[in-house]
Copies of this chain bind each other. A is one copy, B any other.
Amino acid sequence: MNSFTFYNPVKVVFGRGRINQVQSEAAKLGSRCLIVIGQGSVRKNGILDKCIDMLDAIAVTHTLLQGVQPNPRIEMVYEGIREARKFKADFTLAIGGGSSIDTAKAIAAGVMYDGDPWDFYTMKAEVAKALPIMVLLTVAATGSEMNSISVIQNDSTRQKIRAQGHPMFPAVSILDPELTKTLPLDYTAYASVDIISHVLEGYFTSGDEHTPLQDGFTESVVRSVISGTYALMKDPADIEARSTMMWASSLALSGFTTAGIGPFRFENHLIEHALSAYHDIPHGAGLSIVMPAWMKENKKNLMHRFEKFARNVFHANTADDAIEKLEGFFREINAPTSLSHYKISNFKELAENIMECAPTRGLVLQREYVERILERAK
């Protein structure tokens, strides 16, 4: 087992109907709130109004930043920082999924920083402090609600990269599975891929045979998410399956299930982020394309791990079986498994971008290796 430092102070408030706790939790954080939302679904389904009513009831004044895109952009962060400063916000409330949360985190940190918040992503500056961050989760996928990571895209530099820092841990995340019941099936599938990828990025980056505890945690996440996703394909309102997916998403990148394994290389994410940066495809859809290709390229060096994965997740025997079963699962839930699905062919540009962004994750990669993975994914 590897050495590690584990720290995760997020207060998680989980359960059906817990949306009502927005009121009591917000009251603890301040009296002036910047609300951050995406492209309007929380407006249409009434969740935003419900939150506003609760804030009004406790005399928390608020201003709204709306229009955060999937693959959230740095421009929106700049806009949010201007708004938060003008409004003198003393905390942020993200209502949505990873994009809204990551944007709210960047704003919360950026407000307290004199320079360009993009510095946090290019590792020119550390996040020293941030406004308190509150989350009401409506898409369970990225795990951002229970970690200190923010991933932001910069179109001018064609980079989709991440920052991390303790002040960006949400103070409180409210996880109400009822709110995810109406998530469309395609995004439910992409969420499923994302959760699975988070635990497997750890599971498959080392050949350490002495991590039975963590391996079991990871296998439990993968098995539970696969069966939960199948259940949701039949009945998208299955609240037990939504609950399992929601808690799995939060744990998968919280550090809990994976402490002591790795080191995490997060190569699948690195490669996928290039796809998103160039083609603006959903993160989970990019991952279902990249992961089987990455696995085929890496299976030889991690044969024991793949065989263990095959046995404990799929009751199968070989590495090839395991990869085939996982890819088959992606296909069954209509997550794409090939770059051709999006007619992506700019392999050279993508490989260059991946090579450029690798150092922001502390990775040193061979260009030929990256090209082979893209080739396998075509």
A residues whose Cβ falls under 8 Å from a Cβ of B: 1-18, 210-213, 215-217, 219-221, 223-224, 227-228, 240, 243-244, 247-248, 251, 256, 259-260
Contact = CB atoms under 8 A, between A and B. Distances in A.
B256 A227 contact: no
A247 B217 contact: no
Given A6-B11, A12-B5, A240-B1, A213 B247 contact: yes
A224 B219 CA distance: 13
Contact of A4 (B8, B14, B212, B227): B14
Q: Which interface residue of A8, A18, A259 has the most chain B CB atoms within 10 A?
A: A8
A15 B4 contact: yes
A256 B14 CA distance: 13
A224 B216 contact: yes
A216 B219 contact: yes
A264 to B, nearest CB: 16
Q: Give the 3 A-B CB pairs with smallest separation, nearest first.
A: A216-B220, A3-B15, A9-B9
Given A11-B7, A210-B243, A259-B247, A220 B223 contact: no
Given A3-B17, A5-B12, A251-B256, 4 more contacts: A1-B247, A210-B244, A213-B224, A216-B223
Nearest to A12: B6
Contact of A259 (B3, B6, B9, B14): B14
A287 to B, nearest CB: 20
A3 B246 CA distance: 12
A1 B244 contact: yes
**Copies per complex of this chain:** 2
B240 A210 contact: yes
A148 to B, nearest CB: 13
A14 B260 contact: yes
Q: Which interface residue of A16, A212, A243 has the most chain B CB atoms within 10 A?
A: A212
A60 to B, nearest CB: 21
Contact of A212 (B12, B13, B16, B223): B223
B1 A5 contact: no
A187 B16 CA distance: 42
Contacts of A224: 212-213, 216
A223 B216 CA distance: 9
Nearest to A173: B6
A216 B217 CA distance: 7
A176 to B, nearest CB: 9
Given A210-B243, A216-B217, A216-B224, A3 B14 contact: yes
Contacts of A11: 5-7
A145 to B, nearest CB: 12
A212 B216 contact: no
Contacts of A248: 213
Given A8-B8, A212-B220, A224-B213, A18 B1 contact: no
Contacts of A243: 1, 210, 260
A151 to B, nearest CB: 24
A206 to B, nearest CB: 14
Nearest to A169: B9
Nearest to A21: B5
A9 B6 CA distance: 10
Nearest to A18: B3
23 contacts: A1-B247, A2-B15, A3-B15, A5-B11, A5-B13, A5-B14, A6-B11, A6-B12, A7-B11, A8-B8, A9-B9, A12-B259, A14-B259, A211-B244, A212-B223, A213-B221, A213-B247, A213-B248, A216-B219, A216-B220, A216-B221, A217-B220, A243-B260
